[in-house]
Amino acid sequence: MPQPTPVQHRLVRTPGGRIHLVEQGTGPLVLFVHGFPESWYSWRHQLPALAAAGFRAVALDVRGYGRSSAPAAVDAYRMLDHVEDTAAVIEALGAGSAIVVGHDWGSPIAAHTALLRPDLVTAVGLLSVPYAPRGGPRPTEAFAGLGGDEEFYVGYFQQPGRAEAEIEPDVRGWLAGFYAGLSADTMPRGGEGSLFFVPEGGRLRDRFPAGVLPSWLTEADLDVYAGEFERTGMTGALNRYRNVDRDWADLAPWDGAPVTQPALFLGGTLDASTTWMREAIEAYPTTLPGLVSCHLLEGCGHWIQQERAEEVNRLLIDWLRSPAVGVG
């Protein structure tokens, strides 16, 4: 087994500015795309494992995060812009093509890069958030019908400055509560109310667990995440949510379109993303016909590649080495 090369940080030019990435190893390119509210650092357990297994593992900071460009315009965070960034990174790395793996918001970014740029994406891995093709009503209209008297979190994030006013006075504390609230060992149980709904006049953080970190998150890890957002602010990250209706319009030509490359899906049984979107998983024979491997990890929450790093690494490498993917 090859010894992994040291981690290297790079900035690459894209049509939207620059993307910061972290690279380790040599071999077939596997590109990791994080979600909200995270960074390349969310893949810290995967980079050395895949490098040791003979892959070129690269994790990027999505636009609006970390050292990547953060355009001022809200509409600069459309899905089409993220696809363009991901494609530009693959091309800048000179690999010709890549396997793209995404978590949370990174999952639909990975899926849509595969859908729109099949010339560049040979296989796609989706973590926590299932692929669901464009369709149905306008997203914000659908979200407005959820929660009764309470407001669904995506709707709460829509107005620029509103969520920032909650988060930015105490970035570290807010992140700690959000991570804990969606982790298997610290998420609320029973009647505490859903973390995804905001009561009238309340805040999202009002239902976060207080004073506890999940087992996968050390104080030093939290410092890394908090340090990035304390420097950049939260607007770039939140602007992804503020484009769901624009995405719905932009992607109309691909309404109902399947992603056909060899695929992997990993989710946690305690993750609301996999329970709310159960029908999307059940539709995979139609929407993800190249699905090679699908695993729901029992007792796992949302931060799957950090909560279950060794298990996820094994499943990723097994999938990459499968005959269908054919790169291992």
Active-site residue numbers? 104, 302
Closest CA to 83 of 319, 279, 251, 286: 251
Whole-angstrom Cα distance, residue 151 to residue 137?
18
| Pair 196, 155: CB distance under 8 Å | no
Q: Are strands 151-152 and 197-198 parallel, antiparallel or unpaired?
A: antiparallel
The three-state secondary structure class of 244 is helix
| Pair 309, 316: CB distance under 8 Å | no
**Type of residue numbered 157:** F
Q: How many CB atoms lie within 10 A of CB 251?
A: 19
Closest CA to 198 of 169, 242, 140, 155: 155
Q: How many CB atoms lie within 10 A of CB 58?
A: 27
